[in-house]
């Protein structure tokens, strides 16, 4: 065996002890953070993959927030449409009553007054606003009002464009419904009427003294109201469909977040029992190495001299 220089022999033994110590402290850091990958150099691929996952997770959270806010708006829209549908159904009942030839002018006046009340309630609902203070039926117009009276005193849509969209699942989902889609719009050329026109026309028909003109007007109004009821039902169906799409997307995001969390944990998390066992092993080795070093370093021929 080669002679070993005392200095290098000693330094080598100390070096080995130090190395064991640093390995132990590294394991200790992993255990206390419960993470395997702490910095990019621990595992560059896993670190980047984890960064991507975390980013996707944050983006999903943001999309989730957008879905929630659109869902709130759609729910508010649905509530408003529900009340509006009851109003229009009541309007239909009143129109049918009013069309009954046996009523006298006084009764019809009473009915027309109730129609006026309903119109008030209706225009209030058409101005309904969501939780964020934006008119529900105003499209892309900010602040409102969604409807304002024209020269003839009939409410006309003031909005434009579409309600804010939500980007989810690779597509755009409309986060609301525009006034004309629910309440119709008026067009003098084609004779198309909005609900507001129908309210005004019914009110006028009820106080029309000429029975023939009145009967024709009442018939027309009832026909229009039927159309409006259908349109409102369609609008509610659209709102429902959009809500359900948002719900599906929301669920997908929840599931996705769960998968992301599992993936992240698989990438980054430490196998605790393995780490603790490793720690124990290293500590045992260190103790043994220390003891044997202390024993061998104290052995010397010099003790025998003298």
Partner 1 sequence: MMDLLALGSAGVRAFQAALAVTGDNVANADTPGYVRRSLILSTPQTGPGGPIDRENFSGAGVRTDSIARAADALKTNAARVASGDHARFAVRSDWLQRLQSLVTNADTGGRVGAFFDAGNDLASAPTSLGARALFLSAADSAAGGFRGLGADMDALSADIAKAAKDTARTINSLTSALARVNSELRRTQSGGTAANGLLDSRDRLLDELSGLVRISVSESIKGAVTVKLGTGAAAALLVPETGSPVQIGFRDAPAGAEIILGPDHDPTPLRLPASGRLSGLIEAARSVTAMRQDNDLLANRFAVAANDWHQGGTDALGDRGATLFSVTTLEVTAGRANAGSAAIDITIDDGAAPFAGGYRLIRGLSDFTLERADGSASITGTGPLVLDGVTVRTSAGAATGDAWALSPRGGAAGLSLRPLGPERLAVAAPYVTDASDANLGSGGLRVVADPAAAGIAAPLPWRVVITAPGLADVLDPVSGAVLATVPADGSLIAGTGFAFAIPAGAVTGDTFRLMQTGAGSSDNGNALALAQRRSNDGPDGTLEESHDAGVARIGSALAETDRLVQAALAVKDDTARAADDVTGVDLEREAAELTRLQVAYRANAQVIATARDLFDTLLGLRQ
Contact residues for partner 1, defined by CB under 8 A? 2-9, 12, 15, 39-45, 47-48, 51-52, 54-55, 58-59, 61-63, 65-66, 69-70, 132, 134, 138-143, 160-167, 172, 175, 178, 180-181, 184-185, 187, 190, 192, 300-302, 305
| Token pair belonging to 17 | 């002890």
Cα separation values, 107 from 101, 111, 207, Å:
11, 6, 10
Q: How many CB atoms lie within 10 A of CB 103?
A: 15
| Least CB distance to partner 1 at residue 45 (A) | 7
| Token pair belonging to 134 | 């934006």
Here the contacts of 56-63 (C-beta below 8 Å, separation 24 or greater) are 56/256, 56/260, 57/257, 57/260, 57/261, 57/264, 60/253, 60/256, 60/257, 60/260, 61/257, 63/166, 63/167, 63/168, 63/249, 63/253
Q: Which one, 88 or 94, has the nearer CB to partner 1?
A: 88
| Least CB distance to partner 1 at residue 44 (A) | 4
Q: Which one, 7 or 152, has the nearer CB to partner 1?
A: 7
| Least CB distance to partner 1 at residue 101 (A) | 33
Say whether the peptide bond before residue 145 is cis (omega within 30 degrees of 0).
yes
| Least CB distance to partner 1 at residue 8 (A) | 4
Q: How many CB atoms lie within 10 A of CB 249?
A: 23
Q: Which one, 187 or 271, has the nearer CB to partner 1?
A: 187
* DSSP 8-state symbol, 301: G
Q: Which one, 55 or 120, has the nearer CB to partner 1?
A: 55
| Token pair belonging to 27 | 């394991």
| Token pair belonging to 215 | 């009967």
| Least CB distance to partner 1 at residue 97 (A) | 29
| 3-class DSSP state of 27 | helix
Q: Which one, 63 or 77, has the nearer CB to partner 1?
A: 63
| Least CB distance to partner 1 at residue 183 (A) | 9
Q: Which one, 12 or 124, has the nearer CB to partner 1?
A: 12
């Amino acid at each position: 065996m080669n002679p070993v220089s005392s200095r290098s022999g000693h330094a080598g033994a100390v070096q080995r002890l130090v190395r064991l110590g640093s390995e132990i402290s590294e394991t200790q850091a992993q255990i206390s953070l419960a993470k395997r990958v702490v910095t990019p150099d621990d595992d560059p691929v896993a670190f980047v993959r984890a960064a991507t996952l975390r980013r996707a997770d944050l983006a999903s959270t943001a999309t989730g927030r957008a879905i929630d806010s659109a869902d709130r708006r759609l729910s508010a829209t649905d509530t408003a449409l529900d009340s509006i549908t009851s109003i229009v159904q009541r309007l239909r009942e009143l129109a049918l009553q009013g069309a009954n030839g046996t009523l006298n002018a006084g009764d019809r006046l009473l009915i027309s007054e109730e129609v006026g009340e309903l119109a008030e309630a209706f225009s209030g609902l058409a101005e309904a606003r969501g939780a964020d203070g934006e008119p529900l039926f105003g499209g892309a117009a900010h602040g409102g009002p969604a409807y304002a009276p024209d020269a003839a005193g009939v409410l006309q849509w003031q909005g434009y464009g579409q309600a804010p969209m939500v980007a989810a699942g690779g597509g755009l989902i409309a986060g609301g419904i525009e006034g004309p889609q629910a309440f119709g719009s008026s067009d003098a050329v084609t004779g198309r009427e909005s609900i507001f026109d129908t309210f005004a026309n019914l009110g006028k028909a009820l106080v029309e003294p000429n029975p023939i003109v009145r009967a024709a007007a009442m018939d027309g109004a009832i026909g229009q109201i039927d159309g409006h009821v259908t349109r409102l039902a369609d609008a509610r169906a659209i709102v429902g469909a959009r809500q359900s799409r948002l719900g599906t997307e929301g669920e997908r995001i929840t599931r996705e977040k769960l998968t992301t969390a599992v993936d992240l944990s698989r990438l980054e998390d430490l196998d605790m029992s393995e780490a603790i066992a490793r720690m124990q092993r290293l500590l045992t080795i260190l103790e043994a190495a220390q003891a044997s070093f202390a024993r061998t370093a104290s052995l010397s021929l010099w003790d025998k001299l003298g």
